Structure 1
C-alpha cells in the first residue's frame, strides 16, 4: 500500500488525509505547530461559504464542493457550515454577471433594488442593487480540520505528527521520499503532498522540485490580513444578534470589504469585518507578527459607520490571518514526479476544502483530473 506524507494540517492537508484514507491509502500528516493553529489560515470558526464568483469555473466547483461538505457532515454527524445566506453589492461587484452565472449553473438567487434590500436587511446600507443567494453560510474551519483528521485516524491508516517542522524533502535512490524535521527526525514515504499555506514560499527551495517546475510557479504573495469584530446593535442579554445576519461582500471602486457572523471566535456577539487583501505583504508565515494597525482599524470603523448601521462601530475583538495569493488569485494544484503541491488558495480556498482534498488525492494516486488552470504544466517538470 502506498504511504503518503502530507505537509501541513490545515484545511487542505486534513482534507487530503481524509480523502486518501477513505480510499485505503496510508498517510502521515506532519504539522509544524498543531492542526488549525492560529498562525496559519485554517483557524477559528468563521470562514465564508459562498457561490458568488465572477468566474463560472469557481461557481461550478463550489457546487461540487458543497456535495462533499454534505457527505462529510453526514458521515461525521457534525454541522460544519451554518446556513446564513449571502449578499453581494457595490458598483464593482458586477452583480448582473454573478446572477447570469447563477442562472447558468443553477444556483438559487434573487436580485433586489436598494430599497427592497434595505427593507429586508435594515442592518445594512445599500447604494446599488443587491444579489442574494440563500444557500451560502459560515464554515467552522477549526472544527472541519479536527473532523477530517479524526475520521482519517479512525480508519487506522493515518497518524498525525505535531510540532514537526519540515526542513527538507529529498528523493530516495530506491524511490519515494525522505522528509527531515528541524529536530533531526526522519520519515519516509512513497508520495508527498505539500499543503503548507503561508509557509510554502519559505519551503519551496527545500522540496527537491525540478528546476523547470519551480521556475514555472507563479509568484506567491503572503499577506497578514486583519479582521475586526464589531458588536451587534440589537444584541440580546447574551450579546447575540436579534436580527439574522447574512455574510456579505461589498465591492465599490478600490474598496473590497467582506463580513460574516463572527461565531465562536468572538463569543457570537458581533460581525467579523475585513478588507480583502488589505494586510501588509510578508515574505512567508515565518515573518508574521500578529499586529493590528491603527490605519486599518480606523478604515474599518469608518466603513461600519457608513454601511453597517446594525453594528456598534467599535471593535471588541481583533485578529490576523494569512492569505497566500497568486497574481490572478487562481489556485495551484499540481504534481511532479510524485510530489503534489496544493497552494496557494488566495484567501478564498476554505469553501473548497473537501474538493481540494479530492484533487490532491487524485494527483497522488494518479486518478481523476484537476482543472488545467490550476496546474503548472507538464512541460515545467523537465
Structure 2
C-alpha cells in the first residue's frame, strides 16, 4: 500500500466544512483515532497544523520502542492488547511496522525482577538473568544489576505507522487537512466550531484533541467546562535530545532482513545516577548505529511552540559518558543528533478523557507510540458511547511538586 499523502493547505476560503468528528493532530494518536472512527463508518476530518508525523511533533521518524516491560500488570496487558492492533494494522497496510529486536531492562531503579513478575502475571515470554549471564550473551553491553530480557519487543516505524493509519482512514472516507493550525474550539448551537489560525472553520459534533506537545498552548482556547479544565493534570513538555552512535562492528550497520530482526536489542537502563533508553536507529540515521537518549534529560519548555531544536551540550556529555561506561559496542562520537518532544503528566499515565463533546487524548511520558492502534480503539469506545473512559486515564488534577493545586 502506498503511504504517499497529498497535502491540502489551509487557506482562508476553506470554510464551513463539517464532520461528525474533528480530530486535531495527525500524529500517532490522532491517526489511530481517525482510522478507528472512519472504520466504523463515522464522518471524520483530521486537522493537522503541519504534515502528518511532522518533525515538529512527537510521532516523526522511524525509531520508537515497542516493549512489554512495565512494573504494573495493567500496562503489560494493555501492551498485549495493542500488539493485536498492530497485527491488524500491518495486515491491512501490507507493511511491517514493528521490526523485532527484543529488549533488555537493567539498573537498580529499573527493578528488573519486579518487571519480570508483571510479565509473568500476564503470560509474556521473558528471562531474568544475572549481570554476568547477560554480559556473556550481549558482549556489546555492560550491566550492573539483574537484567530482564523479553524477545517480543521491537522497533516501531512511527512515521510509516501514521501514514498507514491515515491512508486506511481515507479509504474509509476520512478527510485530512494539512497546514491547518487549529486556534480555537468553541461551542456552537449544536456541536463545536474549530477555527484555524487563518480563519477557516470546521463544524463538528465532537472534537478530539490529539495535539501532543502543542496541547498546552491550545488549552486556553478550548471551550471546556470549568470543572473539567480544573481537573486536567499539569502537562510538562520537554525538548529531549537524541543521539545516534555508530556501531563498532560494521556488520551491525545494516537494515534488518525482511524475515528477521535488528542486529541489536532495544534497552532501558535506570540506575541511581542516570536513566537512558536506546534502540536501533533505523532509517532515521541510515541504520548505522544505536539511538540513545536520557529519559527526561531535556529542558522543560512551555509547549511545542517553544522548541528551538538546539542540542544541549551538557546532555550530549552525559549520554556520551554513559556510552563509554555501558556500551562498549559503540563508537564514542555521535554521527547524528536531534531534538524531540516528551509530554509528561505527574503520574506518568495516559490521559484519555471527555467533557461534553471535547475529548483530550495525551498518551504521555514518552510511552504512547507502542499503544497507537489501541489508542484509536479507546477513543472510539469513549466518543461513541459504547463504554466509559478507562478510569486510569481520566483527568485527575495531578500536579507536579511545587506547582499549586
TM-score range, shorter chain: over 0.9
Alpha-carbon distance in structure 1 between the residues aligned to 2:197 and 2:94? 37
Contact 1:165-1:182 within 8 A present in 2 as well: yes
Q: CA deviation at 1:243?
A: 8.4
Contact 2:237-2:301 within 8 A present in 1 as well: yes
Q: Which residue of 2 aligns with 1:180?
A: 195
Contact 1:326-1:344 within 8 A present in 2 as well: no
Contact 1:234-1:243 within 8 A present in 2 as well: no
Alpha-carbon distance in structure 2 between the residues aligned to 1:238 and 1:331? 35
Alpha-carbon distance in structure 1 between the residues aligned to 2:53 and 2:265? 25
Contact 2:107-2:144 within 8 A present in 1 as well: yes
Pairing of 1:1-382 with structure 2 (within 5 A): 3-155=20-172, 157-173=173-189, 175-236=190-251, 244-376=263-395
C-alpha offsets along residues 236-261 of structure 1, whole Å, 9 cap, x if unaligned? 49666998210000011141100000
Contact 1:359-1:369 within 8 A present in 2 as well: no
Contact 1:232-1:240 within 8 A present in 2 as well: no
Q: CA deviation at 1:14?
A: 0.1
Question: Secondary structure, in 3 states, of the residue corresponding to 1:190?
Answer: strand
CA pair 158-262 structure 1, distance change in 2 beyond 3 A = same
Q: CA deviation at 1:370?
A: 3.2
- What TM-score does the superposition give when structure 2 sets the normalisation length? 0.90
Alpha-carbon distance in structure 1 between the residues aligned to 2:207 and 2:302? 24
Question: Secondary structure, in 3 states, of the residue corresponding to 1:314?
Answer: coil
Moved more, 232-241 or 94-103: 232-241
CA pair 240-363 structure 1, distance change in 2 beyond 3 A = closer
Alpha-carbon distance in structure 1 between the residues aligned to 2:253 and 2:115? 37
Question: Secondary structure, in 3 states, of the residue corresponding to 2:250?
Answer: coil
Moved more, 113-122 or 219-228: 113-122
Contact 1:110-1:133 within 8 A present in 2 as well: yes
Alpha-carbon distance in structure 2 between the residues aligned to 1:120 and 1:94? 20
Contact 2:34-2:174 within 8 A present in 1 as well: yes
Question: Secondary structure, in 3 states, of the residue corresponding to 1:58?
Answer: helix
State the Cα RMSD in Å: 1.7
Q: CA deviation at 1:57?
A: 1.2
Alpha-carbon distance in structure 1 between the residues aligned to 2:388 and 2:146? 38
Q: CA deviation at 1:26?
A: 1.0
CA pair 240-366 structure 1, distance change in 2 beyond 3 A = closer
Alpha-carbon distance in structure 2 between the residues aligned to 1:203 and 1:238? 42
Alignment gaps of 5+ in structure 2: 1-17, 398-405
CA pair 198-18 structure 1, distance change in 2 beyond 3 A = same
Alpha-carbon distance in structure 2 between the residues aligned to 1:14 and 1:104? 32
Question: Secondary structure, in 3 states, of the residue corresponding to 1:202?
Answer: helix
Q: CA deviation at 1:344?
A: 4.4
Contact 1:177-1:191 within 8 A present in 2 as well: yes
CA pair 2-165 structure 1, distance change in 2 beyond 3 A = closer
Alignment gaps of 5+ in structure 1: none
- What TM-score does the superposition give when structure 1 sets the normalisation length? 0.96
Q: CA deviation at 1:369?
A: 4.0
C-alpha offsets along residues 313-352 of structure 1, whole Å, 9 cap, x if unaligned? 1100001110110011111100111111101421111000
C-alpha offsets along residues 64-92 of structure 1, whole Å, 9 cap, x if unaligned? 10011111111111111001000001111
- How many equivalent pairs are there? 376
